[in-house]
Amino acid sequence: MMPAARESLLDAAYTALARRSWSAVRMVDVAAAAGVSRQTLYNEFGSKEGLARALVRREADGYLAGVERALATHSDTRERLTATAEWTAALARDNALVRAMLTGCWSERLPAPTLSAVPSTSAVPAQRRADGPLPSPGDFVAFVRDRAVVVISGPGINKSDVADLARSCELVVRLALSCVAAPPGEGGVAELVRGALHRQLGDDRRHEVSVPSPTVAGRRPPRSPD
């Protein structure tokens, strides 16, 4: 199956999940919505569990791709981290699967695939990847922190400064996750993050590096149910 056809099936599954609980989502309905046979759906994902894992994997990848874009949006360290926090909180608010992945709180409406790898006999490379380990909340924190450090730290930065920067990056990620659980009031995530970074970084500009061409964080899936 072409990647575009697989994406169409995942889109159909996502739309179905927005309308009803995962237990009520039927494979035959997902296949029909994507314009393929049920057998084609099973050939691609193996089972409903395989479809759930692939959907979770795709939403995780979409979140992490947005993190990369947010980190590339500005040259200023604080604004890069603020954009990352805003992306995290906004996507988690709009996407129930991302919210569950980031917090570890899976409601009864959602699929809840095991995070550990499952045996896979799929001939589809993308499905073999989906059948592998899925990221835990701690994995997301570590990835975003480490990626932010790599993007932000300039050449020649010493180990002490890297450690300080890593702590600031992790603080931002965890602050963003706290805003997912308890949405902030006026000023939102950005004000909280800028205030925290002002105390953490002060007027230090050692970590700032230039970026050649800013881009804006992209696709946000349609709002899904709580």
Read off the CATH number of the domain in which 194 is found. 1.10.357.10
Is residue 197 assigned to a domain?
Answer: yes
- This prediction has a pTM of 0.86
Residue of 50, 57, 58 whose CA lies nearest to 30 = 50
Longest dimension (CA), the chain: 60
- How do residues 53-88 score in pLDDT, each as one tens digit? 999 999 999 999 999 999 998 889 999 999 999 999
Number of structural domains (the chain) is 1
Is residue 220 assigned to a domain?
Answer: no
Is residue 219 assigned to a domain?
Answer: no
Cβ distance 144 to 67 under 8 Å?
Answer: yes
Residues of the domain holding 170? 3-201
194 pLDDT exceeds 70?
yes
